[in-house]
Amino acid sequence: MQLQNLKTSFLGKTIIYYEKIDSTQDEIWRKIHNKTIINGTVVIANIQTRGKGTHGRVWHTDDNGNIAFSFFVEMNYNIKVLNGITIKIAKIIVDIFNNKYGIKLEIKEPNDIVFKGKKLGGILTETVLKGEIVKYLVVGIGINTNKKIFTKDIENIATSIKKEFNIEINTQEFISEFCNKFEEELLKRMCN
């Protein structure tokens, strides 16, 4: 799989796609552990059986066509470079939905994307540090774009783009746009 309209120098140049996997985030950590990952790799899944949320929670990606991906960035920068990075990622996501689809979503700090108080997406940011230096940045993003049925335990607190707006989101287009914007942000931070 290749992302259309990708304008990055490294992020998203290597794509690993799974029709079904336990977790895109776990897959990146396995590849780091096995030293089989390239800087900028993006792992995308159609379905995740054990997607990772924050605080050890499970992120459900059990329907086709939702957005579930993680990416890996090799770094050698002071941790300060990543100040507020999760919020910045959330802003990029919200901006893409607003600019491309005319959908106004909100951010529930630090890492949730919501609509009318219901969770629609989440961001999981993990790093490997050596003292004050960030060696690796691993970010997982899950967005309910297509989910139609929510279990009783989450139906009052979760929603999806499809349910709220009845529109289709092209996953590859979205991820490509995200990679373009996020790499730009990251390079700007590294140059300062």
pLDDT of residue 149: 80
pLDDT of residue 55: 53
At residue 109, does pLDDT exceed 80?
yes
> What band does 4 get if pLDDT is binned at 50, 70 and 90?
confident
- Report whether the peptide linkage leading into residue 110 is cis, meaning its omega lies within 30 degrees of zero: yes
CATH 3.40.50.300 fits 15-191, yes or no: no
Q: Which of 37-41, 122-126, 152-156 has the lowest mean pLDDT?
A: 152-156
User: pLDDT tens for residues 37-91?
Assistant: 999 999 999 988 876 655 555 565 566 778 999 999 999 999 999 999 999 999 9
DSSP alpha helix (H) spans, 34-107: 85-101
At residue 132, does pLDDT exceed 70?
yes
What average pLDDT does the structure give for the chain? 91
Percent of the chain exceeding pLDDT 90 equals 79
Domain ranges of the chain: 15-191
DSSP H/E element including 180: helix 171-191
Structure tokens at 169: 């989101």
pLDDT of residue 58: 59
